[in-house]
Structure 1
Amino acid sequence: MKLLKNALIMNYKTKSYDLSNIYYENGVIKKITPTDIVLDFQYDEILDAEGLYVTSGLIDAHTHLGMKGDSQGFEGIDHNEKNDPITPNMRAIDGINPQDITFKEALFAGITVVGSGPGSTNVIGGQYACIKTFGTSIDKMIIKFPMAMKVSFGENPKKNYNSKNKTPITRMGIAALLRETIQKTIEYKNDPKRKFDAKLEAMIPVINKEIPLKAHVHRGDDIISAIRIAKEFNLDMTLDHCTCITDVLDDVLNEKFPLIMGPSLGARGKIELKGKSFKNVATVSKKADICITTDAPVIPLEYLPICAGLAIENGMDEWKALEAVTINGAKIMKIDDKYGSLEVGKVADIIVWKRKPFISVTSPKYVIVEGKNINL
């Protein structure tokens, strides 16, 4: 048994700060008690949080972590397979490099779980994975795979394909190609004499509603198009980025698709980012549960706590911000039975912060992953 004592847990459920002792063994939280109660165990390790703020490991549900090598050119760019706009058979786990320095930087900033997968060049980009940021082999870091199927709308697929190779260059073309692939998958699934097709085979979990579409959408009309197609085929879907969602907010909220917002830090690099701001993040958070994303490496993943802090500065409730970088991401990736909060039975991913997180720029004193204290 291991013990973290005197931990000031930030409890999003009760919106309270609970001074507690946390007991964990074999990477799982076994007990949480008030600090005046110390259970009689033989302890392998005792850490003293000294009354500092404590949260679960932070979560970013939309990244490309390990798929675009830090400080590398062509040699390390593995997040977009540009030879075809339809590549659902691409698997993130075949392109993620755990030795990339961004993993360690994220871990040491308190982020322990991410969704990582293909970029937004393709209309259908491939299968996302939910992974830990700690480890050396991707096969041992996987929490859930496949976690989602990446699809993209708007400027990115438009600018990466052209009429020379007979691929879509309009928003109509993007939507049509996505519809065509979904319809082909339905027919493929229902054909008892079908011949194996790797692309359509990869799409079957989508039409079976085993995994959601993960829709790259910035502009309001693209958000509405994604919703239209998902409803047309009765598919699950998350709406990722949602930069201009305030233009169509009431229409979107009525549909109740999960929202992942960001990256809101940095410059507006293209026209469809005109609504990019932490003020919009705060506005939407007042009406819906959201996740905050860095879209790493667009914004380095280690700055996720800063993004939460900037959202708070622009009007987001402090507890909503905590949820947006912990439990909400876990819910979207359907791993909230094990991750996203400090509760008995969940994985012991525990962050002890040197100062109050999100309100001030701070870094962890301790990072505990599956009960193991990572030497910072």
Structure 2
Amino acid sequence: MLIYNAEIHTMDRLGVIKDGWIDIQNGKIKNIGSGFLPYDNKNSIDAQGGMLLPGFIDAHTHLGIIENGLDFEGDDCNESTDPFTPQMRAIDGINPFDRCFEEARMRGITATASSPGSANACGGEIAAIKTYGRRIDDMLIRNCGIKFALGENPKNVYNGREETPVTRMAITALIREGLHKARRYTKDMDSYYSDSENYDPPEYDIKCEALMPLLERKVKAFFHCHRADDICTAMRIAKEFSLDAVIIHGTEGYLIADIIAEENIPVICGPLMCDRCKPEMRGLELKNASVLHDSGVKIAICTDHTVTPIQYLPLSAQAAVKGGLKFDDAVKTLTIAPAEILGIDETTGSLTEGKDADIQLYRKGDNPLDLMSEPVLVMINGEICRREV
């Protein structure tokens, strides 16, 4: 399939291609060019001068793991019977038939990270997934990291039960304990593999097994934290265990933007389209994304769906523009930046030869971040999910 006569915003080194065309074959981007078309194709689509973009990526949601229109029956986000659960996997709780997947696709959101919640000091494994499919195994891009939570959420959950943790100290201690155990478990496994005659394998521990890729920096540590002091705690833990860390929310990041930049830790900002619903969010400001970006922090913008419905991801980026972020930078926070932060940029996040054909097209003159704009064409893995051209 050939899409031509488009203004292509590649989000890679090619920048913006005027009068561009893109060749899609077998679900991948085969070629990109401008001007003269390489061949005629009866399946070609005339973009009519519209803006062609990579599909948007929501870097932090609970899509499908908190189902639309259901209460407890459809909420599989938090296994809040144990404050430390790295062995929980989001893919085991996601329902791909939740109607919000379609609402995401219709707004040009082709991929997302669906995460366990923040009731526990460690909630489990985050799944980066496409928003199109019937079986989650086929939608999975990769399991991209482990979710930790600092601050009020674990405090509130376990304080009501008079169980640990009820303080920030205890939350951090639980995380340290789990990581220290996993580090020792890994060392014992290495000893066994290197000399099985003299060493026995440690007793199987599913929690330690889940944390081993994290300690080996094969996946990232995603820390839910809003307050500046909690962000600093996340950075402290990351240093202590040499973790590849990401801050989720980072609501007060603007207070310590220079420190976060110095530590070279990215921030997934959001939700922005919400109220200050709890004390640790009282510092919520639209300028946060702009201040972080201008300080040199890599940022993405998220909805935290279901906190903000996922179809309002572009509007969330528009809110960040109102807070001072430049339009082009805001588009990057929904495309290549979240792909890089989630570790899925080899396959998606930009319109680059060899990547998955995750594409959206807007009519000429439309602002893709505007509330009233909708894509006239959406493709995921080269399959058309929406077409009005």
TM over 0.5: yes
Deviation at 1:16, TM superposition (A): 3.7
Deviation at 1:227, TM superposition (A): 0.4
Corresponding residue for residue 95 of structure 1: 93
Q: Does the Cα contact within 8 Å between 1:350 and 1:368 map onto a contact in 2?
A: yes
Q: Does the Cα contact within 8 Å between 1:15 and 1:319 map onto a contact in 2?
A: no
Amino acid at match of 1:99: F
Deviation at 1:162, TM superposition (A): 2.9
Deviation at 1:44, TM superposition (A): 5.6
1:361 to 359, 368, 372: 372
Distance 1:323 1:22, change over 3 A: same
Aligned length: 372
Q: Does the Cα contact within 8 Å between 2:220 and 2:244 map onto a contact in 1?
A: yes
Corresponding residue for residue 187 of structure 1: 184
Q: C-alpha distance in 2, partners of 1:360/1:51? A: 21
Corresponding residue for residue 53 of structure 2: 55
Corresponding residue for residue 113 of structure 1: 111
Q: Which moved more, 1:355-364 or 1:289-298?
A: 355-364
Q: C-alpha distance in 2, partners of 1:124/1:62? A: 16
Unaligned runs of 5+ in 2: 193-200
Q: C-alpha distance in 1, partners of 2:118/2:105? A: 25
> Is the counterpart of residue 199 in structure 1 residue 179 in structure 2?
no
Corresponding residue for residue 381 of structure 2: 370
Amino acid at match of 2:226: H
- State TM-score, norm by structure 1: 0.95
Once the two structures are superposed, residues 103-152 of structure 1 have per-residue CA deviations (whole angstroms, 9 ceiling, x without a partner) of: 0000110000111110100100000111000001001100112x100000
Structure 1 residues 64-213: aligned runs within 5 Å = 64-145=62-143, 147-162=144-159, 166-191=163-188, 192=192, 193-213=201-221
Distance 1:217 1:40, change over 3 A: same
Q: C-alpha distance in 2, partners of 1:59/1:88? A: 24
Q: Does the Cα contact within 8 Å between 1:58 and 1:111 map onto a contact in 2?
A: yes
Deviation at 1:83, TM superposition (A): 0.5
Q: C-alpha distance in 1, partners of 2:358/2:290? A: 27
> 3-state DSSP class of the match of 1:341?
coil
Amino acid at match of 2:4: K
> Is the counterpart of residue 307 in structure 1 residue 316 in structure 2?
yes
Distance 1:232 1:297, change over 3 A: same
Once the two structures are superposed, residues 33-82 of structure 1 have per-residue CA deviations (whole angstroms, 9 ceiling, x without a partner) of: 21x311125x3611111111110000111111100111111100101111
> 3-state DSSP class of the match of 2:263?
coil
Corresponding residue for residue 260 of structure 1: 268
Q: Does the Cα contact within 8 Å between 2:61 and 2:303 map onto a contact in 1?
A: yes
Deviation at 1:359, TM superposition (A): 5.0
- State TM-score, norm by structure 2: 0.92
Once the two structures are superposed, residues 286-325 of structure 1 have per-residue CA deviations (whole angstroms, 9 ceiling, x without a partner) of: 2222100111111111111111112112211111111100
Amino acid at match of 2:373: T
Q: Which moved more, 1:313-322 or 1:151-160?
A: 313-322
Q: C-alpha distance in 1, partners of 2:17/2:350? A: 14
Corresponding residue for residue 236 of structure 1: 244
Q: Does the Cα contact within 8 Å between 1:260 and 1:291 map onto a contact in 2?
A: yes
Deviation at 1:17, TM superposition (A): 5.4
Q: C-alpha distance in 2, partners of 1:312/1:270? A: 24
Unaligned runs of 5+ in 1: none
> Is the counterpart of residue 18 in structure 1 residue 18 in structure 2?
yes
Deviation at 1:361, TM superposition (A): 3.4
Amino acid at match of 2:61: T
Q: Does the Cα contact within 8 Å between 1:306 and 1:361 map onto a contact in 2?
A: no
Q: C-alpha distance in 2, partners of 1:33/1:251? A: 41
Amino acid at match of 2:230: D
The percent of aligned pairs where both chains have the same amino acid is 40
Q: C-alpha distance in 2, partners of 1:58/1:169? A: 38
Q: Does the Cα contact within 8 Å between 1:7 and 1:21 map onto a contact in 2?
A: yes
Q: Does the Cα contact within 8 Å between 1:216 and 1:241 map onto a contact in 2?
A: yes
